[in-house]
Amino acid sequence: MKHAHAEEHAVRALARERDAHAQIAARDPQAHTWVATVVADGADDAGRPWLALPWFEHSLRTWLDTQPPPGERVAVLVRALACVEALHRTGDGGARVHRDLKPDNFLVAERPLRVVLADLGATREDGVGAYTTVAYTPRYAPAEQPLATDAELGSALDVHALGVLVYFAFAGVEPDAKAPTHAYRAPGLRLLDLSGPRALSPDERRERDTLRRAPLAELLDLGELCALTARDEARLRNGVLDTVAPALAERDALPLADAVVAAVVRAVSPEPAERGAVGALAAPLHALSGALGAAGFGATVSLPERPEPPATGKFVAPASVRDDDPMQRDPLAAVLIGVLALCLLGLGVAVLVGGRG
């Protein structure tokens, strides 16, 4: 269950997610195979939206913590990238961009093995106006994303995030090269300041809009950035080799690991135009999955045959939750208090009976 809090931005984000699910379902009858489908939706007594979604045991992050077999790990990564490719195809004239891809926004079920994309509140269609809000996760977002320029950044944002995600899946950490950067030029720093949550004066809004139309090179020193450091590349290569070590000899695995490193380096390039498509990042993972399958370590990710069933009449929509009412915020507390009250009532009756005796 996803229920918007009182903050206006949370209400808008969940409403956008609800609308995105509806648009995607209308444009792709097979969307239930790659995105977490909405089982029910509505609004509480205060008008705040809610969504009911299927339950999955894991996010991709927690699933990776279980140390899955090499074939399953690679197969799930291949499927995760395919989910994003499917999302991009649901745009109306351009790619539908997720804008906040990370391991936490993929859901994984283990029996049978499934993976779907989730958390669509930040999605936008490429080329449909300026990005008036900045939604991103540090390290996964490229350096240009926080600037929220008028440029049609499109799927390059998601390709970068997927490159970092693939790195994380093998190395267990995000790359050092994606730490906070000081590569913003003075106009870029000013735009970052004006793109924050504070209210702007009319002059500041005009200044912000002017800066958003500036070429990226005037806002960001791309020459000061790198895709991956040498240490990053070594860590990723070793992570791939360690992952497939039970199945493949190092001499067979090394060319495949090098291909994964090269694809990730391209995907996380500081220059958006150089990142390529999701398919280019997926290609060496397909090759790695094929090699694991040939060695008897393959795995299959299942696809559901039909969408999640709609909610039955037993589904109860959430009521409006008052922020000052701990009983509604924490149902467990309400149950414990009720049990305590019953115990005290029973004690009182016992004392009364004893006194009469």
Q: What is the pLDDT of residues 181-198, one digit of tens each?
A: 778 899 999 998 988 778
Would you say residue 305 lies in a domain? no
Report pLDDT for 346. 58
Q: Report whether pLDDT(76) > 70.
A: yes
Residue 140 shares a structural domain with residue 93: yes
Report pLDDT for 333. 47
In this prediction, residues 212-230 reach a mean pLDDT of 89
Report pLDDT for 307. 59
Residue 58 shares a structural domain with residue 102: yes
Residue 56 shares a structural domain with residue 170: yes
Cβ pair 149, 192 in contact under 8 A: no
Q: Report whether pLDDT(349) > 50.
A: no
Q: What total number of domains does the chain contain?
A: 2
Look up residue 338 and give its two tokens. Answer: 């009720």
Would you say residue 160 lies in a domain? yes
The residue count for the chain: 357
Q: What is the CATH number of the domain that holds 38?
A: 1.10.510.10
Report pLDDT for 320. 41
Residue 341 shares a structural domain with residue 271: no
**137 vs 75, higher pLDDT:** 75
**Position 7 confidence tier, pLDDT thresholds 50, 70, 90:** low
Residue 347 shares a structural domain with residue 225: no
Classify residue 92 by its DSSP letter.
S
Lowest mean pLDDT among 71-75, 113-117, 299-303: 299-303
Cβ pair 253, 74 in contact under 8 A: no
In this prediction, residues 227-237 reach a mean pLDDT of 96
Task: Return all residues near 79 (Cβ < 8 A) that are at least 6 apart.
Answer: 115, 301
Look up residue 53 and give its two tokens. Answer: 């979604």
Residue 126 shares a structural domain with residue 225: yes
The pLDDT tens digits of the residues spanning 270-288 come to 999 999 999 999 999 999 9
Q: Work out the burial of residue 106: count CB atoms within 10 Å of its CB; fewer than 13 is exposed, 13-18 middle, 19 or more buried.
A: buried
Q: Report whether pLDDT(19) > 70.
A: yes
Report pLDDT for 313. 41
Q: Whole-model pTM?
A: 0.81
Q: Report whether pLDDT(208) > 60.
A: yes
Would you say residue 299 lies in a domain? no
Would you say residue 256 lies in a domain? yes
Residue 341 shares a structural domain with residue 264: no
Please give the mean pLDDT across all residues of the chain: 82
Would you say residue 268 lies in a domain? yes
Would you say residue 54 lies in a domain? yes
Residue 230 shares a structural domain with residue 349: no
Q: Which domain holds residue 290?
A: 2-183+220-294
The percentage of residues in the chain with a pLDDT greater than 90, rounded to a whole number, is 47
Report pLDDT for 100. 92
Would you say residue 164 lies in a domain? yes
Tell me the C-alpha distance between 277 and 40, whole Å.
Answer: 34
Residue 46 shares a structural domain with residue 90: yes
Residue 151 shares a structural domain with residue 243: yes
Q: Which of 117-121, 145-149, 253-257, 339-343 has the highest mean pLDDT?
A: 253-257
In this prediction, residues 151-160 reach a mean pLDDT of 84
Report pLDDT for 178. 86
Residue 289 shares a structural domain with residue 341: no
The percentage of residues in the chain with a pLDDT greater than 70, rounded to a whole number, is 78
Would you say residue 278 lies in a domain? yes
3-state secondary structure of 192: helix
Residue 230 shares a structural domain with residue 111: yes
Q: Report whether pLDDT(63) > 70.
A: yes
Lowest mean pLDDT among 160-169, 242-251, 278-287: 242-251
Quick one: how far is CA 253 from the chain centroid? 29
Report pLDDT for 135. 63
**Position 203 confidence tier, pLDDT thresholds 50, 70, 90:** very high
Q: Work out the burial of residue 220: count CB atoms within 10 Å of its CB; fewer than 13 is exposed, 13-18 middle, 19 or more buried.
A: buried
